Amino acid sequence: MDKTQNNKAWFLVLPVLVLVAFSAVIPLMTVVNYSVQDTFGQNDFFWAGLSWFEDAISSDRLHEALWRQILFSVIILAIEVPLGIFIAMNMPKSGFWASLVLILMALPLLIPFNVVGTIWQIFGRGDIGLLGHTLDAMGIDYNYTNDPIDAWFTVIIMDVWHWTSLVALLAYAGLQSIPQAYYQAARIDQASRWSVFRYIELPKLQGVLLIAVLLRFMDSFMIYTEPFVVTGGGPGNSTTFLSIDLVKQATGQFDLGPAAAFSIIYFLVILLISWVFYTVMTNLDKQETF
């Protein structure tokens, strides 16, 4: 759609600008302020320059948390995206069952993050949880509070449980928008199921899948509450992701300077990814209109 050039539209945007400036810019400035200062007491600050940033960039702790975070996000995407597409292709297309399945699938998305954590915390326990009990009964030594591998397994399966439906719902909406004529043409050409998927469905799903991948990437990159409730970042530091580590530093130890420097680096990483997201998405929007 052609848009009218009108700078008075700024007045319509002004309320959002003021509100978001209050709740984003001022706090961010506070963080920047802390990141270049050191403190020994209540209000006794002095200039520390960029030393916190140098410390943060070279600290093993940040590197480990970052690698853990990247590994987690990659595993999550590798499982949830193909599984989500697969589920979407098997969902009923219309009628009562379609509505019911939609509602049931959306249910995990609406559960408060800490309750998701609680559910899996209970579900995975050997003494009172179905999953833990079943695995123990099968002779598998499963204990997510002691064993790092089991903790990772629990956190990952929890995230798959929580968010695969999102990918599936998006892919489902994308599949619904493909005209029947495409499938008829493919049938005339005697295309196999695989080539229908590869050459018709996948290209048509490109837009929604991009949104799904990036939403899942962002949200898994900032995950805090669910692993915090289930494992508390343990055993040891094995499930301490970036956000958990940051909150530990900022509110647990009150290391304001390092925590602030950490925050800014974290935020810049997210900003970079958001920029890629935005650029790709606006390009896709343009393609649609031409």
* Range 146-165, binding another protein (CB under 8 A): 161, 165
Q: Which amino acid is at 251?
A: T
Q: Which of 53, 43, 44, 27 is nearest to 257 (CA)?
A: 53
Decide whether 232 or 235 has the Cβ nearer to another protein.
Answer: 232
Nearest to another protein of 72, 120 (CB atom): 120
66 three-state secondary structure: helix
Please report whether residue 203 would count as binding another protein according to CB under 8 A.
Answer: no
Verify binding: residue 283, another protein, rule CB under 8 A.
no
Question: For residues 290 and 287, what is the distance between their CA atoms, to the nearest angstrom?
Answer: 5
What is the rounded distance in angstroms from the CA atom of residue 55 to the CA atom of residue 72? 25
Least Cα distance to 255 among 14, 61, 7, 22 occurs for 61
Decide: is 213 part of the binding site for another protein (CB under 8 A): no
Structural contact between residues 85 and 205, judged by C-beta atoms closer than 8 angstroms: yes
Q: Does 7 bind another protein (CB under 8 A)?
A: yes
Give the binding range for another protein (CB under 8 A) out of 23-31, 41-49, 71-79, 140-148: 23-31
**Of 16-24, 37-45, 72-80, 148-156: span binding another protein (CB under 8 A):** 16-24
When asked if residue 130 is in the footprint of another protein (CB under 8 A), the reply is yes
Does residue 274 touch another protein according to CB under 8 A? yes
Torsion angle defined by CA atoms of residues 53, 55, 60 and 66, in that order, rounded to the nearest 10 degrees: -10
CB contact set of 181 (below 8 Å; sequence gap of 6+): none
How many residues in the shown chain lie near another protein by CB under 8 A?
Answer: 99
Handedness of CA 183, 185, 191, 196 (dihedral sign): negative
Identified binder of another protein from the candidate list 52, 53, 72, 120, rule CB under 8 A = 120
Given candidates 42, 47, 60, 127, which one binds another protein under the rule CB under 8 A? Answer: 127
Asked if residue 255 lies in contact with residue 249, where contact means CB atoms within 8 angstroms, the answer is yes
CA nearest to 171, candidates 142, 210, 222, 217: 210
Binder to another protein among 62, 85, 151, 208 (CB under 8 A)? Answer: 208
Q: Is there binding between residue 220 and another protein (CB under 8 A)? A: no
Comparing C-alpha atoms, which of 220, 224, 228, 225 is closest to residue 273?
220
**Taking contact as CB under 8 A, which single stretch among the options 53-61, 181-189, 190-198, 218-226 is the one that binds another protein?**
218-226
Q: Are 256 and 34 in contact (CB under 8 A)?
A: yes
Nearer to another protein, 110 or 188 (CB): 110
Closest to another protein by CB, 188 vs 251, is 251
**Cβ proximity to another protein, 147 vs 255, nearer residue:** 255
Indicate which single residue of 73, 90, 145, 146 sits in contact with another protein (rule: CB under 8 A). 90
Across 108-239, where does the E strand assignment appear? none
Q: How far is the CB of 167 from another protein (least distance, A)?
A: 9
- From the list 72-80, 186-194, 196-204, 239-247, the region that binds another protein by CB under 8 A is 239-247
Interface with another protein, residue 91, by CB under 8 A? yes
